[in-house]
Structure 1
Amino acid sequence: MNNCSFVGGLVADPVIKYFESNGAAKAVTEFTLALKRNFKNSQGEYDADFAKCKVFGKLAEVLVNHTKKGDKISVVARLHTRNYIDSDGKKVYVTEFIVTSFDFITKSKKAETNQNQTNSSNHIGSHSPAESDDQLPF
């Protein structure tokens, strides 16, 4: 089974991009999470690993609209490895996590602002394929 879960902090504001798939625009967001190790190094400090992640569709839009750099999220993903030939003719391998779900750990100011705008316009919509507004932590 290819299933990974971890909690980390966004190292930058997530940015959404769109690409065409089967004649329709599809959203994708690539982001990196800083994952604190659970043990200290020889200097008595915690090191971090950095996980490259991708999320697609409505979840990509939710992530971009409700998070910012420094926010902590919990991610469930699958590990994916792909390769391509670079401009020098060398084969390059890329390992990344394809996010299937996530939860907000910290409530960012961006999320509060977006929630207030949503409430003031009386627009009620789903923020992820499986969740209603009542289930969100803000």
Structure 2
Amino acid sequence: MLNQVTLVGRLTKDPELRYTPDGKAVSNITLAVKRSFRNSNGEYVVDFVNCTLWNRIAENTTIYCQKGSIVGITGKIQTRTYENPEGKRNFITEVIVENVSFMDRKTAEKKPAKEEQETSEHAL
């Protein structure tokens, strides 16, 4: 059986990095992926795909990407369920990212310089 997905799209917001209690880096992103055809109004339909990144991939994506950055990802689809406080069962489908390609060179070049500037300002 094969469970593999490849997507190219834009980040809908800046990635936020957090750490699990055992120290693993994790980030959740939403990727806006334009479909290859237009609807009856002549507009492209966009799918918003939830993705989870772990460890070094999560850290690097947080450093080099921001809202609007174009990224290519490969990974696997995973579903999970949970019960909300009202007792309703909810299903979540997401992509567990195994590889990220930063495709928007301008964004990757801008963000580290901005972080270096902020670090310099805090050191003063």
Unaligned runs of 5+ in 1: 119-138
The 1-side partners of 2:107 and 2:74 are apart by 24
- Paired with 2:111 and 2:78, the residues of 1 have a C-alpha distance of 34
- The equivalent position to 1:60 in structure 2, one of 54, 58, 61, is 58
Task: Name the CA distance, whole Å, in 2 between partners of 1:53 and 1:113.
Answer: 21
Code of the aligned partner of 2:37: F
Provide structure 2 residue ranges, at least 5 long, that are not aligned to the other structure.
Answer: 117-124
Identity among equivalent positions (%) equals 33
Determine if contact 2:65/2:111 at 8 Å carries over to the other structure.
no
Root-mean-square deviation (CA, aligned residues, Å) is 1.7
Question: Which protein is richer in helix relative to its size?
Answer: 2
Deviation string for 1:71-122 (max 9, x for gaps)? Answer: 100000100000011101111111100000010111244533416978xxxx
Query: 2:12 maps to which residue?
Result: 11
Task: Say if 2:29 is the partner of 1:31.
Answer: yes
The answer to whether the Cα contact below 8 Å between 2:8 and 2:72 also exists between their aligned partners in 1 is yes
Amino acid at match of 1:12: K
When normalised by structure 2's length, the TM-score is 0.86
Tell me the SS of whatever aligns to 1:20: coil
The structure 1 segments of at least 4 consecutive aligned residues displaced by more than 2 Å after TM superposition are: 108-113, 115-118
Secondary structure of the 2:99 match is strand
8 Å CA contact 2:65–2:108 kept in 1: the answer is yes
SS in 2 for 1:15: coil
